[in-house]
Amino acid sequence: MKKTITFLMLVCATFNFKAQSQITTFESFTLAPNSFYKDTNSVPFQTAGMLFRYKWDKPYAYWSGGFSYTNINDTANGNFSNSYNARAGKGYNNSAKYATGKNNAIMVLKAPFNRLDGCYITNTTYAYKSMKNGDQFAKKFGGTSGNDPDFLKVTAKGYFNGAVKADSAVFYLADYRFANNSQDYIVQNWLWFNTTALGQVDSVKFIMYSSDNGQFGINTPTFFSIDDVTVTNAFVGINENTLSNNLTVYPNPFSSSLIFKTTENLNVSISDVYGKVITEVFLNEENKELDLTFLEDGVYFAEIKSGKLNVTKKIIKTH
């Protein structure tokens, strides 16, 4: 029996198994027009590959945690009564439905899926308007001078067998920390949030952080919207994060060129903060320097692929 098990392990380590993926688009859920998921018993909603935690506070009668799916498309109302809708108006790729999450919202992966590849993410209208203009609870990002180094970010933390993993994935929904204020931004369209660096997980928690904090915690509205959540049944254990661990991209910030330090061939795609792809190139083992002098100063994202592995890094072009 031991010999048989050893043989099977060697077979699994030798051959590449095709990963199976599933994308949750939220389109299959039924909703009345201009509404959202609500369950006063805090029942989570789920698809074939995912379960989304949901919490309703009965004493105070409000949505207090987790995710809720919605088809609201109000991009004008920027106060707390408009918590559910995305600044982008509709879902990713102009779909009718998407989901909105609150700080510390949790996704649970259902077998056989064991890796969260990522999702499209954007600000809610409430959070966007609050950061853009300020409100009775939160400051205007950048402050009066525009020089305050404000930010709002979402950190995805993976859990496996009840324990939090060391790796995390970070996405900035707003970033005003640049010396050049023209580079400051607040996300208002759908962008890809790559979370493959988390590796094998059974659940993921989305934790929000802001530069604007008070005695009761974060002042900035802690809401974000997601769509097209992709999970994979990936065969873990065969150096799943090899590319992420062995890849160095420098200098960052850069003025003209980026250097990719790795031994693998790479496909590199450069996109702006709105998700528009600007250039796509192939870099072989002998040529790992990418000339980007044609870019305007600002923030970009480099999506780097090698085989089935995929890493996204934020890069900054400056003088």
Cα(178)–Cα(125) distance, rounded to whole angstroms? 24
Quote the DSSP letter at residue 80: T
% pLDDT > 90, the chain: 62
What average pLDDT does this structure show over 247-264?
Answer: 87
pLDDT of residue 63: 96
Q: What is the spatial distance between Cα 150 and Cα 171, in angstroms, rounded to a whole number?
A: 14
152-170 pLDDT, tens per residue? 999 999 999 889 998 899 9
Q: What is the pLDDT of residue 222?
A: 97
Residue limits of CATH 2.60.120.1350 in the chain: 20-233
Task: Choose between 5 and 233: higher pLDDT.
Answer: 233
Average pLDDT over residues 205-233: 96
pLDDT, mean of residues 222-249: 73
User: Predicted confidence band at 40 (pLDDT cuts at 50, 70, 90)?
Assistant: very high
59 prior amide bond cis, ω within 30: no
Per-residue pLDDT band for 240 (boundaries 50, 70, 90) equals very low
pLDDT tens by residue, 49-90: 999 999 999 999 999 999 999 999 989 888 888 899 999 999
CA pair distance 281, 266, nearest whole angstrom: 8
Query: Is the model's pLDDT at 1 over the cut of 50?
Result: no
Q: Are 208 and 154 in contact (CB under 8 A)?
A: yes
Section 245-264 average pLDDT: 85
pLDDT for 157: 96
Residues of the chain with CATH 2.60.40.3080: 242-317
Architecture per CATH, 242-317 = Sandwich (2.60)
Least confident of 57-66, 83-92, 111-120, 297-306: 297-306
Give me the phi and psi of 81, to 5 degrees please. -75, -10
Measured CA distances, 217 to 33, 85, 210, 212 (Å): 34, 23, 9, 9
Long-range contacts of 302-305 (CB under 8 A, 24+ apart): 302/249, 302/258, 302/268, 302/269, 302/270, 303/192, 303/194, 303/268, 303/269, 303/270, 303/271, 304/243, 304/247, 304/249, 304/260, 304/266, 304/267, 304/268, 305/266, 305/267, 305/268, 305/269
pLDDT at 93 over 60: yes
CATH of 20-233, one of 3.90.1150.10, 2.60.120.1350, 3.30.750.80, 2.60.120.620: 2.60.120.1350
pLDDT of the residue at 16: 42
